[in-house]
Structure 1
């Protein structure tokens, strides 16, 4: 009976487990990007349809039964009432690669369980590129046509701004103004991103490609380790 060859390395159990774990993670990331791809395609299709969709009265859309996530990108029109209080701060943003500042204002409404809606009125062009812009005041909004966005998707300090109105029941949405009547001086409506990228297929292929590359590297190492 022959003796095992001295010094011959055994099967790399630890390396195999680590490779399998890394492979599963890479495939999971690729699958997640595929899911994101389908989601982004749906968003882009909805935005495309939005371009020709009529504006619905806010009271018809913003009901007690409506789910916030289902109202994203819905075009509405509303007549804003006055809300007492000091002017709201400008909101920082980036558009076309430039730092911009967006004007926002409270809008008193009666729609479902809510009696206030935060309106994003657009970009203040005179403040583009400024790091610390001076305070600006504008006339209160009156008749606004725009699209609804869940406030949590927009970030910034918008959620904190709502805490300034403890006596109100604000909707968890922001009205991104497309037009106002009368039009406010010094504000340019900018409701939608200038460009919405959709590179999730590229990202998915990258993760899946890394997973395949990992298998080739593992196979090469295993062959070199176990070859006669």
Structure 2
């Protein structure tokens, strides 16, 4: 009987050590992922805050995301309203204007947000506008995003391909980093919205490892007592 119990204890101990090693390995991996993500966010922040350059002739997401640019163009009267929530305004509409450039191109301008009040007008940005902002390819659309309400001009995400097709512009979005109209609150790009949950994941795995180790010691102690 005692020998059988010892064999069971050895088998259980091997299983427990393997489980503990797995949980600790997952925690260490998340710590490594945390350092990797922090490095990415630091590089994104540095790029967002870099010097503004003229809009490149050939723009691509891989090469130009977050690039600060400055450009001058003619904003059109039409604008897309994207429903958002902000700390300053509460429910609001993010305004996406088409901007015609002197070289014949047209891009999308995220001018910022206005309160989402019934019957609110879309501000007129004037005949010519010089704006500084950052290039962005938003990733906001998934299988749960409702289709835009085109009749009331209410969108639920910045769907860049659909917005560009609707407003007949290039597949380019510039997010203003300063006020372009007194009534529009700028919503500049920051890295704060980029998920970085690796620290919480690491704490979870290490906590599970501690619980696993505690339960293992408790069970081994009980099994040892049964042999006496």
TM-score, normalised to structure 2's length?
0.65
C-alpha displacement at 1:164, in angstroms? Answer: 6.6
Contact 2:82/2:157, CA 8 A, preserved across alignment: no
Distance 1:70 1:46, change over 3 A: same
C-alpha displacement at 1:77, in angstroms? Answer: 1.1
Question: Are 1:108 and 2:100 counterparts?
Answer: yes
1:159-170 equivalences under 5 Å are 159=159, 162-163=162-163, 165=165, 168=168, 170=170
Aligned to 1:148: 135
Distance, in Å, in 2 between the alignment partners of 1:169 and 1:96 is 30
Q: 2:38 aligns with which of 24, 37, 40?
A: 40
Distance, in Å, in 2 between the alignment partners of 1:30 and 1:69 is 30
Distance, in Å, in 1 between the alignment partners of 2:69 and 2:118 is 31
Aligned to 2:173: 174
Q: 2:69 aligns with which of 76, 87, 98?
A: 76
CA deviations over 1:93-146 (Å, ceiling 9, x no partner): 3336944432221223588xx94432211132xx2xx6x654431224722210
Contact 2:96/2:111, CA 8 A, preserved across alignment: yes
C-alpha displacement at 1:200, in angstroms? Answer: 5.0
Aligned to 1:88: 80
Question: Are 1:139 and 2:124 counterparts?
Answer: yes
Q: Secondary structure at the match of 1:107?
A: strand
Aligned to 2:56: 59
Unaligned 5+ segments in structure 2 are: 143-155
Distance 1:146 1:167, change over 3 A: closer
Q: Secondary structure at the match of 1:152?
A: coil
Unaligned 5+ segments in structure 1 are: none
Distance, in Å, in 1 between the alignment partners of 2:109 and 2:222 is 65
Distance 1:188 1:201, change over 3 A: same
Q: CA RMSD in A?
A: 4.3
Distance, in Å, in 1 between the alignment partners of 2:3 and 2:137 is 67
Aligned to 2:152: none
C-alpha displacement at 1:24, in angstroms? Answer: 3.2
Q: Secondary structure at the match of 1:144?
A: strand
Distance 1:136 1:94, change over 3 A: same
Contact 1:19/1:218, CA 8 A, preserved across alignment: no
Aligned to 1:224: 221
CA deviations over 1:4-58 (Å, ceiling 9, x no partner): 359959359699769856863674365245324432343234424643x321111
What is the aligned residue count?
Answer: 209
Contact 1:31/1:204, CA 8 A, preserved across alignment: no
CA deviations over 1:69-112 (Å, ceiling 9, x no partner): 4423210012234558x43124313336944432221223588x
C-alpha displacement at 1:177, in angstroms? Answer: 0.3
